[in-house]
Amino acid sequence: MDKRALSDLIKRHTGASVRSIAPLSGGCVANVMRADLDDGRQLVIKHSTTNDAQDSAGLLIEAEMLRYFKTHSPIPCPEVIHADTNCLVMTFIANDNRMTGRVQRELAEKLASQHQVTSDMFGLGFDTLTGGLAQPNTQEESWITFFAEHRLRHMAHCAQREGKLPGSIVARLDRLIDRLEDYLPTDSKPSLLHGDLWGGNILCRIDTLAGLIDPAIYYGDREIELAFGTLFGDLTSEFFGRYNEILPINPGFFEERRDLYNLYPLLVHVRLFGGHYVGSVDHILARFGQ
């Protein structure tokens, strides 16, 4: 779809003419652009440039995730204007990239509220994406079963088939998976998770949380979300101090469970980027005797 066709599509759905279209950084599913409209509004466009059925379906899945997140989470996210297999059009959220302590505390308050949105089952009624990779959400009553089979084992075996993860590491991970009950609670409650909570997806502006983008939603133990927020240092002590005041974090999270939960995003990064992320997986497995 060329810029003229995009401009026509946007005008049909918004009633406004496009003043300019320019590329944006990011986007695992498609090319990303920003459109400035003549009425002052700004939109984000994700446009598939391939005929791959999986890539095309990804835009529809992303739209479904955004719609679900917008209606269930107290945290703002882009509003879907239009979605089809070639194009996703949504509202633009301005971001000044200044993650202050005040923003950390506001995020803690709103994320704690989101984590109190619950379900009867772990998973979700539809499969989602994380970093453009398929993320199965087969619903389970047991968090350990869900995390073991639909997160760790799924992602590790996909990585092995793609030649990204050695079979010896997968075998060690399988042994750890079979022992998860030794480390994880059996009474976890399903919480609504954003699913990809790192700094690039946390938007802030003028010392305020502006919103979250690129969700990879499902219902899971809230600790997996908190763990990922520490993987690259995006959630600070100010976040955890305020979050813990609202929803106390059980003992053992920082000392042990955090590393176990971060195996999942690390496996995602192994598939996407390879390299030293394999070493990070190896290090955690060794820590737990595997």
Question: Which pLDDT value is given to residue 67?
Answer: 98
Model confidence pLDDT, tens digit, residues 150-188:
999 999 999 999 999 999 999 999 999 999 999 999 999
Residue 55 pLDDT more than 80?
no
Residue 64 pLDDT more than 90?
yes
| pTM for the whole structure | 0.94
Residues 6+ apart with CB under 8 A from 182: none
Q: Which domains does the chain have, with CATH numbers?
A: 3-91 (3.30.200.20), 101-287 (3.90.1200.10)
50 pLDDT tier (thresholds 50, 70, 90): low
Tell me what percent of the residues of the chain surpass a pLDDT of 70: 95
* Mean pLDDT score of the chain: 94
Contact present, 210 and 93 (Cβ < 8 Å): yes
96, two tokens:
């000044």
DSSP state of 288: T
Tell me what percent of the residues of the chain surpass a pLDDT of 90: 89
Phi, psi of 32 (to 5 degrees): -120, 135
Q: 154 vs 30, 157, 176, CA distance in Å? A: 24, 6, 14
Residue 54 pLDDT more than 60?
no
Whole-number Å distance between alpha carbons of 61 and 102: 33
Mapping DSSP to helix (H, G, I), strand (E, B) and coil, where does residue 205 land?
A: coil
Radius of gyration of the chain (CA): 20
What residues act catalytically?
196
Residue 20 pLDDT more than 80?
yes
172, two tokens:
């060690």
255 pLDDT tier (thresholds 50, 70, 90): very high
Half-sphere exposure of 95 (CA within 13 A, CB side): 18
- Count the Cβ atoms, other than its own, within 10 Å of residue 46: 23
